[in-house]
Every structure is written in C-alpha cells, then in structure tokens.
C-alpha cells in the first residue's frame, strides 16, 4: 500500500511526516542472525553468484575467547558468548563471491547450533569467518552432527582452557572441514555476538560429521551452551547456491 497516496488531501503536513518516519523504521527492519531455516523461506535463483572456495592447508592455534576478563571468577564461569576459536594462518584459505575475495581468518564453535533447520538444532555448529579487504564479513556456517570421525575431531581433540595456553595444532587440510555435499543456503544477517553488526553474508552448508566424544567434550566445557537464539527472518529468504 502506498501510504502517501492513501492519505486524504487535507491531512496536516505534520501527520504526513509521521507516516514517513514509520516508513524509515520499516526499512530498518532487523536482519539478525541466527535464523530458523524453514522450507518455505528457501528459494532457487539460477543467477545467484556461486560460493567459490579456495582452501589450502594451515597449522592452527586453538584459543579460548574470553568475554568476562573483568570478573574475578571469570576463569571458571562460562559466558554464553565465549567460545573455542581456531586461528588460521594468513593466506591459507579464501572464498570469492561475485568477484569479491574474503580471506579465512578463524573458525569457532557453538553448542547447540545457532541456526535451526525446521525448528531443530544440531549439537554443534562451526562458523568459518572470512573478511574482505574492505572489512566486509562472510561466514560459512556448518552444522555438526554425530557420526564418523572428521578433521573437526582433530581440531577439538584438546580444548584450550579459559585462562591458559592456546593449543597448537598440526597443519590440516581446510577443505576437509566442509561436508562432501556442495549445496549452501545464502542469506544476509548479522554477527551472533555483540555488537550484532548487520551486513554479514551467511552461507549455511549441509551437516558435517563429528564423533559423539568430541560433542561431549565441547558440551562439557559449555554446559549452559554458547549459542544465540534464532532471530526473526522478517521477510528474508535463503537462496540455494552451490559451492565450487
Ligand atoms: Zn559464531
């Protein structure tokens, strides 16, 4: 509905200004992450740019990300925005979408998954965070489900303590972090921790396997979880795009 055209001619200017203010607020509708992926929100667009993945090998440094350094009991209390994060060597991996290159910086984990599929969580979710030269963020989200051993088990074999040394990990093939299936779902959302900055490009993959022991180890550290609740789609759709 065109609000301006629907307004009676004699409506005072001040009221017209109010309508336009509402319009401004609507264009600022939150576009937050994570989201609950429902079949009705998925569409196919053959013109959507593909996710071009170019990963190599990298040694990793697994470290605990603290969000409560100011608290005296912070070394033992788990904050729900804290996580285990693996730093990737510069230049070891990048993705390209529509000519823009995003370098892989780090990947980290949440329990339960932040994204839901048909209202259901997976036990863990891995976020591979990429940054462009202009500072734009692209995150590949990988749901992790219980199954056979994968390279993710090697990454999470020994967890870094909240107050202690990082864990050095021998070089891994970064491609093997991703599932064999090459489908992804793309949408535009936000960071899932403060400051929840929007304009983050999300690509959700099919599930990857990890062993039950690894899931239990991670959940044993974050007993109350470290995932944000699903946020409203607010009219957004997820577009099926292949990863190449
Ligand atoms: Zn994350």
What pLDDT, in 10s, does the model give residues 132-179? 999 999 999 999 999 999 999 999 999 999 999 999 999 999 999 999
From CA 221, how far away is CA 94, in angstroms rounded?
30
pLDDT tens for residues 199-214? 999 999 999 999 999 9
Q: What is the DSSP letter of 35?
A: B
Average pLDDT over residues 8-32: 52
What are the tens digits of pLDDT across the range 36-49? 999 999 999 999 99
Provide the 8-state DSSP code for 165: P
- The average pLDDT across 69-74 equals 87
CA of 220 to the centre of ligand 1 (A): 18
Span from the CA of 109 to the centroid of ligand 1 (angstroms): 6
Integer Cα distance of 160 and 178 in angstroms:
22
Strands 93-97 and 183-190: unpaired
- Number of H helices and number of E strands within the chain? 4, 15
* Mean per-residue pLDDT of the chain: 90
Q: Do the Cβ atoms of 110 and 83 come closer than 8 Å?
A: yes
pLDDT of residue 57: 98
Distance (angstroms) between ligand 1 centre and the Cα of 122 equals: 14
C-alpha pair distances (Å), 113 with each of 167, 216, 219 = 23, 14, 11
The stretch 232-242 carries a mean pLDDT of 97
Q: Is the pLDDT of residue 14 over 70?
A: no
Q: Which residue has the higher pLDDT, 16 or 174?
A: 174
- State mean pLDDT over 12-41: 67
Q: How confident is the model at residue 27 (pLDDT cuts 50, 70, 90)?
A: low
The domain limits of the chain are: 1-29, 31-242
Q: Are 39 and 118 in contact (CB under 8 A)?
A: yes
The alpha carbon of 27 and the centre of ligand 1 are apart by a number of angstroms equal to 26
What is the reported pTM? 0.88
In the reported structure, the alpha carbon of residue 236 is separated from the centroid of ligand 1 by a whole-number distance in angstroms of 20
Distance in Å, CA 126 to ligand 1 centroid: 7
Find the mean pLDDT for residues 201-230.
98
Centre of ligand 1 to C-alpha 33, Å, is: 10
Are 51 and 244 spatial neighbours (Cβ–Cβ below 8 Å)? yes
The residues facing 140 across adjacent strands are 128, 203
* Interval between CA 110 and ligand 1 midpoint (Å): 6
| Ligand 1 centre distance from Cα of residue 123 (Å) | 14
Its CATH architecture, for the domain 31-242, is Roll (3.10)
Ligand 1 centre distance from Cα of residue 191 (Å) = 7
């Amino acid at each position: 509905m065109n609000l301006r055209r629907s307004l009676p001619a004699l409506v005072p200017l001040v009221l017209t200004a109010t309508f336009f203010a509402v319009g401004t607020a609507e264009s600022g509708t939150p576009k937050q992450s994570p989201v609950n992926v429902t079949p009705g929100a998925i569409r196919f667009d053959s013109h959507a740019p593909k996710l071009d993945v170019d990963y190599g090998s990298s040694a990793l440094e697994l470290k605990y990300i603290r969000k409560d350094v100011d608290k005296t009991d912070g070394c033992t209390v788990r904050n729900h925005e804290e996580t285990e994060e693996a730093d990737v060597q510069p230049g070891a991996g990048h993705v390209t979408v529509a000519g823009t290159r995003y370098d892989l910086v780090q990947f980290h984990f949440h329990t339960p998954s932040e994204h839901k599929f048909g209202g259901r969580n997976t036990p863990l979710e891995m976020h591979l965070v990429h940054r462009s030269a202009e500072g734009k963020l692209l995150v590949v989200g990988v749901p992790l489900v219980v199954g056979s051993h994968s390279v993710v088990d090697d990454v999470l074999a020994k967890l870094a303590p909240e107050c202690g040394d990082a864990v050095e990990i021998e070089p891994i093939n970064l491609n093997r972090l991703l599932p064999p299936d090459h489908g992804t779902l793309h949408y535009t959302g936000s960071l899932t921790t403060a400051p929840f900055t929007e304009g983050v490009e999300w690509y959700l993959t099919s599930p990857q396997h990890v062993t039950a022991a690894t899931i239990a180890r991670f959940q044993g550290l974050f007993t109350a979880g470290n995932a944000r609740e699903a946020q409203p789609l607010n009219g957004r759709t997820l577009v099926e795009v292949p990863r190449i």
